[in-house]
Amino acid sequence: MGGGARSLAILVKTELPCQLFEDEHLLVVNKPPGWNTHAPGPFAGEGIYDWLRHREPRWAGLAIIHRLDKDTSGVLVFAKTPLACKSLTEQFTRREIRKQYLLATDRPIKEKAFAVKSSLRRQGDRYVSLPVNRQDPVAETQFELAGEHAGLALWRARPLTGRTHQIRAQAAARGLPVRGDRLYGGTPAARLWLHAERLVLRHPATGETIEFHAPADFDAPSWIALRRAVIDESETNAWRWLHGAADGRPGLYADRWAGQILLHAEGAVDWAGAVAGIRQSGQGVYLKQLDRQVRRGTPADACPRWLDGPVAPEEFEVLENGVRYAIRFAEGYSSGLFLDQRDNRRRLLVNHVGKDFPVRAGGLAGAEALNTFAYTCGFSVCAARAGARVTSVDLSRKYLDWGRRNFTLNGLPPEAHDFLYGDVFDWLKRLRKKARRFALILLDPPTFSSSRQSGVFQARRDYARLVREAGALLAPRGALFCSTNAAQFEPEEFLESIRRGLGENGRRIERQLYFPQPPDFPVSREEPAYLKTAWTQVA
């Protein structure tokens, strides 16, 4: 079983739709709008740089050489080696790298070309273009009229320096605010119409002049462009399609499930417009009205209702990172898979958490793994595909049977693994008495649950106790995965609960990496992060 699982794990795709070029020294991507170059804070959503480094072992040492504003799309180059980092840094410092942007504006001016050399001074969130002075950094940009699109003037901008907001501030000062740039007086739009379309540099190893180009697609809203950049539909056809206020639709969420779209609506939010936009795609459309009291009703009350398009089968399959899962819309509160854990499940498949941090040194083949609160065994399937022998524990026989079904869909014999029905805390005590040890333990409990054996479990109150009980079963240098979506459970408090729970067992943290939700669940001021996950290597 171990050898077959290893060959399956290797089949996970390692390239991305946004990838333009890669060799030993360079990685070049087409960054979508609405995504930071790097994370703005330790508990904020990952920037594209952070996300890439934690996705593939060969990208773990990526270095940022230049940046694009969050809402600017286009060509972004990262260094993969010290040689590339040194060479590209020097090229940028000496202004040898040539950059070209495309912007659109609805403001006419008579000039066809002009150059701006000014000083930029920060005022709040924006920068003001001022006459050159000694106090403020100098920025220099060449502008040239490039054509027309949808009644808008297209301009090419060639920055000779690399200041924050340089093109946006200088264009606005000349009466050409970029469309969608509300910060600088641009006409509101679904995205910022500014795109880094061309980058020319010398290859750090060969010295050859190479050019990277990505055409602009201003017509695609930023939330669509972001999904197109990170989701490879040949291996993943289930993801968060629309994420509330972060995507400009407060209270409205939508998930893609193969040929079905499942809307989640809070309160009286208007979802009719979203249905009209989906109708032409030929997909089925379902609606789930989000209600804080939904768990007090019957399973039928929590099931989504059909709105439009083809009716979903009672059970259908989806793909995620090449892994198959059974989905059922008529099973109550959840459909069988939590999409916000996609990146964490992938980490099991590729054995990579971060730089010098594999899930297990040498891989999971032959390792013992324990998945608590296993639900339909999504994590279990991925660990098994990577070669582990998995013990899955859940309080529901129905979900464990569903988990066995997911094993079978992926050619994994369920009988080669353990499926334990019952209370997690009770099973942790029983496994400890049997002196069981696991190289990997996964803890993804519900925010609130109750059982006859252990009573009421509340994530914020009881997480340290859960970690303590599970940590006693962890093999030396084992990996512990912890997760919660409890809204009031702050990241710092969550991490402290892990530390405290392990400390009560005399266990020491060797390494730990924290992750929020994946990029198709974007984080913004209006839509803060809710998912908190941590991978911990324990001494």
| Torsion sign, CA atoms 115, 170, 193, 256 | positive
Q: From the candidates 69, 136, 462, 520, which is the catalytic residue? A: 69
Q: Tell me if residue 423 falls in helix, strand or coil.
A: coil
Phi first, then psi, for residue 398 (nearest 5°) are -60, -45
Other C-beta atoms within 10 Å of 142: how many?
A: 15
**Active-site residue, 308 included:** no
Residue whose pair of structure tokens reads 């942790």 in the numeric block: 428
Q: What is the CA radius of gyration of the chain?
A: 25
Q: How big is the CA angle at 59 (ends 57 and 61), to the nearest 5 degrees?
A: 100
DSSP, res 341: G
From residue 289, alpha-carbon distances to 192, 254, 305, 333, 478 in Å are: 32, 12, 9, 11, 41
**Which structure tokens are listed for 173?**
């000062």
The stretches of 70-111 forming alpha helices (DSSP H) are 82-93
Measured over all CA atoms, what is the biggest interatomic distance in the chain, rounded to whole angstroms?
A: 82
Q: Tell me if residue 116 falls in helix, strand or coil.
A: strand
Contact status, residue 264 vs residue 251, Cβ threshold 8 Å: no
Q: Tell me if residue 214 falls in helix, strand or coil.
A: coil
Distance CA 30, CA 7 (A): 31
Contact status, residue 313 vs residue 286, Cβ threshold 8 Å: no
Distance CA 465, CA 111 (A): 69
Counting runs of H as helices and runs of E as strands, what totals does the chain give? 13, 27
Distance CA 341, CA 428 (A): 23
Is residue 417 exposed (0-12), middle (13-18) or buried (19+ Cβ within 10 Å)?
buried
Contact status, residue 532 vs residue 484, Cβ threshold 8 Å: yes
Phi first, then psi, for residue 453 (nearest 5°) are -75, -45
Q: How far is CA 184 from the centre of its chain?
A: 29
Q: 487 — alpha (psi -120 to 50), left (phi > 0) or beta? A: alpha
Residue type, 406: N
Distance CA 431, CA 418 (A): 12
Query: Which amino acids are annotated catalytic?
Result: 69
